[in-house]
Amino acid sequence: FKVRMDDLVSLCKRRGFIFQTSEIYGGLNGFWDYGPLGVQLKRNIKSAWWRAMTQCRDDIVGLDSSIIMHPRTWEASGHTNNFKDPMCDCRETKARYRADQVRVLRPKDDGEGLIFAFMENDRGPAEKKIRKLGSGDASNYEDLPLPEIALEDYPRIVGPDTRTPGTLTEPRAFNLMFKTYVGPVEDHSAVAYLRPETAQGIFSQFANVTSVSRQKLPFGIAQIGKAFRNEITPRNYTFRSREFEQMELEFFIRPGEDASWHDYWVEERIRWYGTVGLPEGRMHREIHGEDELAHYASACTDIVFDFPFGTQELEGIAARGDYDLKQHQTFSGKSMEYFDQENNERFLPHVIEPSAGVDRIALALLCEAYRMEWIPKDGGEAVTADPDQKRPPEGFEQRTVMRVAPCVAPYKVAVFPLLKNKEPLVDKARAIYGALSRRWMSFYDETGAIGRRYRRQDEIGTPLCVTVDFDTLDDDTVTVRDRDSMKQIRIPVAELEAYVADQVEF
C-alpha cells in the first residue's frame, strides 16, 4: 500500500484534519476531534450522502431523531440483551481484549508454550511475535480458538507485550452501550443509553413519518447522526471509535421484494462511493453466508475497503425483513402497519438497511488520496515516491498531495496575490476571494513564495489555485493551477466562477 499510517496520521495532525480529543489532558482512548479541515471533509461527505439520498430522490425523506431515546427502544431492538462483544482480560497486564481479536498459536510439533497475540489487524502481529520469539515460521503454528483452550494451559500463554507468560481470563460478554441517567436521581428507573446506532430512531418514528410525508411503498427514511459504542479495543486511528457518526437509510418495501431491493442498494451504494472518489478496485462486496446472518435477516453484504491496515468494513447493507417494526409494535403496543390503499390491506413492510460510518469513509478517503510524489524539476509527470526513501533522487523535488475528489475537498479553491506588499494585487485577490467564497469554501493566502503556497494547498487537497499577478491588472486574467496535473492556464476573471463551478461541482 502506498500510504503509511504514521505519515498520514502526522499529516492529519499537522494540517488540522484530526486531533486526539482532550489532548491537553492526555487524550481519551477511542475519541477524536476533527480540526478545521477534518470538519469540512466530514461535512462534505455527509452532504454528498444527503444529496444522493434525499435531494436527488423523491422516494426518501429525512429525519433527525434524538440520541437518548426511551430505554424500551433498546429492549425492543435487542440491544439490551444482545449487543455484546466477548471480552477477556490479561491477568498480568490488566489489559482488556476483544476475544475475537486474540489469536492463540500452538506449535504444530507439540513444542512448549502457546503464543498469545492481540490482533490489531489482519495476521501481522502474531507473525511478528513468532519472529521475535525466534520460533521460526508462522506455518509451524496452528490457531487455537479461545474457548477451546484448556484452563490449565492459560498460565503458559505468552503475554501480549512481553516474553513472560501471561494469563487470560475466560471470555465473557460485555455490553457495548454507554449507560447514563436521565434526571437528578441515579436509580434504576432513570437509566438510559446513548444510542449505539441511529436506525432505531427511524423505526420508532415510522408511523409519524409515513403519515406526514404521504409516501407510498417503496420509500425510505434517511438519517445522519452520532452513535456511541463502548468498544473494548478502539483501534486503527479513527476506524473503530467510541463516538462516531452514522449515515443510515431504512428503505421500506413490500414483503417478497427483499432480494431485488437488496441488490439494488448494494450497487447504488458502490456507485456513490465512486462519486466521492473511492474507486471500485479498492472496494469489495463481502456477502454474508447463511450461517453468519442474524435470524431475521435474509441477506447482508458489507462494503469493504482496502485500508493500509487491512480490508475492513465501511458499510453494511442488510435485508432485515419486518423484524424491527414488529419488535417495536410488540413492545410499544402501537401499530406499525402500513395501509396499502390500492389493495385495501394492512401489513408490516420489510426493510433494506444501508448503514455507513462517516468517520470510516473520511479515513478511507484520506488513505486513498494521500500521496508523496517526486516531481521532475525540468517538468514532466510526477511519480509516486518510495516511502522508505527520505529524500527524492537528483533532479526531483518532493510534494505531498491529497488527491481528494473536488466534491469532498475541504477547500475548493485558493486565491493568492503574487506579492503581499503590492496593494493593487492584494485588493484584486481579496475581491476575487470575496466573490468565490460566497459560493464555495475558499482559501486566501498571501504569505511566502508562490511555490510554497501551492504546496500547502496540495497537502490539504485544494483542487484549484488562482494567482493574481501584474498581468491581471492589465488584462483582467488570472492563472489557475490544477492540483493533480500542476498545469496552469490563463483565464479571464469574468469566466473564473463558471470555470471553478465546472471543475468542482458534481
Residues that bind ligand ATP (CB under 6 A): 197, 229, 231, 240-241, 244, 246, 313-316, 355-357, 359-360
Q: What's the closest the beta carbon of residue 177 comes to ligand ATP, in angstroms?
A: 12
As measured in angstroms, the least distance from the Cβ of 316 to ligand ATP is 4
End-to-end alpha-carbon separation of the chain, Å? 29
Q: How far is the CB of 61 from ligand ATP (least distance, A)?
A: 21
Burial of residue 432 (number of CB atoms within 10 Å: 0-12, 13-18, 19+): buried
Contact status, residue 104 vs residue 160, Cβ threshold 8 Å: no
Cβ atoms of residues 266 and 283 within 8 Å: no
Nearer to ligand ATP, 88 or 314 (CB): 314
- In one-letter notation, the amino acid at residue 441 is M
How far is residue 331's CA from residue 76's CA, in Å, rounded to a whole number?
Answer: 6
Q: How far apart are CA 173 and CA 82, in angstroms?
A: 9
Q: State the nearest-atom distance from the C-beta of 157 to ligand ATP, in Å.
A: 25
Compute φ and ψ for 171, nearest 5 degrees.
Answer: -60, 140
* Residue number with CB closer to ligand ATP (231 or 322): 231
Among residues 88 and 149, whose Cβ is nearest to ligand ATP? 88
Q: Least separation, in Å, of the C-beta of 330 and ligand ATP? A: 22
- The DSSP bridge pattern shows strands 464-468 and 413-417 to be parallel
Residues in the annotated binding site: 98, 197, 229-231, 239-248, 313-314, 353-360
Known binding residues for ATP are: 229-231, 239-244, 313-314, 357-360
Give min distance, CB of 80 to ligand ATP, in A. Answer: 16
Count other C-beta atoms under 10 Å from residue 411's C-beta: 21
When the beta carbons of 79 and 103 are compared against ligand ATP, the nearer one is 79
Q: At what angle do helices 36-50 and 358-369 cross, to 10 degrees?
A: 110
Q: How far apart are CA 206 and CA 320, in angstroms?
A: 15
Residue by residue, DSSP assigns 21-48 as TTGGGT--TT-EEE-HHHHHHHHHHHHH
Q: For residues 37 and 224, which CB has a smaller minimum distance to ligand ATP in the complex?
A: 224
Q: Which is nearer to ligand ATP, 210 or 223 (CB)?
A: 223
Closer of 287 and 383 to ligand ATP (Cβ): 287
Looking at the chain, the number of H-run helices and the number of E-run strands are: 14, 28
Point out the residue whose Cβ comes nearest to ligand ATP: 357
Residues making up the annotated binding site for substrate are 98, 197, 244-248, 353-357
Q: Which of 351, 399, 406, 394 is nearest to 374 (CA)?
A: 399
- Give the shortest CB-242-to-ligand ATP separation in angstroms: 7
What's the farthest any 2 CA atoms get from each other in the chain?
Answer: 86
Cis amide prior to 234 (ω within 30 degrees):
no
CB 412 within 8 A of CB 462: yes
Residue 54 Cβ vs ligand ATP, minimum distance, rounded to whole Å: 19
d(CA 315, CA 47): 17
Q: Which is nearer to ligand ATP, 73 or 241 (CB)?
A: 241
